[in-house]
Amino acid sequence: MLTRWIPLAASVAIVMAGLSGCRCHTCNRCPPSCPTTVNAPPVVVPRAQYYQPQAGPCPGCDRSPSNVAVPPPTYGQVPAAPPISSPAPPVVAERPATGTWQPVQPSRPDRRPPAPSEDSNRAKLNIPEPMDRPPPPPEDVDATRTPPRGDLSAEIPQFEQVYERVAAGLQPFPDGFQLLASRGYRSVLHIRRDSEDSTALRTTVESKGMKYQDLVVSPQTLNREMVDRFSRLVGDSGLHPIFVFDRKGQLAGALWYLHFRLNDGLPEAEARKRAVRLGLDEEPQGENADLWLAINRILRGA
């Protein structure tokens, strides 16, 4: 009876063992369904605080060769964080002592243009003179110097420089004689008709310190001797600088025309052109017709 239950009990034990499953630590082998991962503790990685599961070997499952040493598991241990090198501290310049500060010299070269030299052609600004500076003293009148024209035409109609020290024009305005004297003229030559009174002009000229000379001319009295006298007065260096004028310009223009032709020997066209600027009227009409008859008579006699 007992021998019949022993095989039955063994069969039951084998069946129960198969139902309970295989254990890795008892059968020394892992079935295909043996888990390969377990819940490992979280691993803290430096500079990254997040949870990361870590796979671990099957407990008691040894698939490595027998001659290879397997390190023991390190569950629950946190690897040491690598050392973090701190940045180097900034370099701070030493502060100078109080009272020894100096301005920093510029490192770039000076690109400003150099100052112009004394012999430069560029325009230069002079220092303005003070307004209360007294005027310079008047210079002595030099009789050998040619008087400048300046603004004589404002007080003397048709003012014209004939030679270097001989000028001509119409009768000056009241301030014209004072202007001539201030410019260094020493005498005046008045070409007038016999009917004109020269007393007032003589007094005015002599009151300005100049010498008065006159020459009475008319179409009837105009001849070669009159022209020669006119040329001598104009060429007299003792009267220079001299100003020759006429009230209307016709008589003085006729004398200048004959002077250019007979004394200077200029051609007719050039002598006429210069005499017209000095008062010569080219239209032979009325009173001017008698003057042209006298001019042609003198030229034919010459």
Is there a domain that residue 187 lies in? yes
Q: Residue-wise pLDDT tens for the chain (302 aa)?
A: 556 667 677 777 676 755 555 454 445 555 555 454 445 555 555 554 444 555 555 555 555 555 555 555 555 555 566 666 666 666 655 655 555 566 656 566 656 666 656 555 555 555 555 455 444 444 444 444 444 545 677 889 999 999 999 999 999 998 899 999 999 999 999 999 988 988 999 999 999 999 999 999 999 999 999 999 999 999 999 999 999 999 988 999 999 999 999 999 999 999 999 999 999 988 888 778 999 999 999 999 86
Is there a domain that residue 115 lies in? no
Is there a domain that residue 283 lies in? yes
**For position 199, which CATH number holds?**
3.90.190.10
| Cβ within 8 Å of residue 258, ≥6 positions away | 227, 295, 298, 299
Is residue 241 reached through a cis peptide bond, with omega within 30 degrees of 0 on the bond before it?
yes
Enclosing domain of residue 173: 152-301
Instruction: Give exposure, 224-238, as e/b (b: 16+ Cβ within 10 Å).
Output: eebbeebbebbeeee
| Cβ within 8 Å of residue 205, ≥6 positions away | 177, 188, 211, 212
Is there a domain that residue 219 lies in? yes
Is there a domain that residue 178 lies in? yes
Q: What is the total count of domains within the chain?
A: 1
pTM of the model as a whole: 0.52
> For 151, which DSSP code?
T
Is there a domain that residue 147 lies in? no
Phi (first) and psi of residue 214, to 5 degrees: -135, 160
Is there a domain that residue 278 lies in? yes
Is there a domain that residue 75 lies in? no
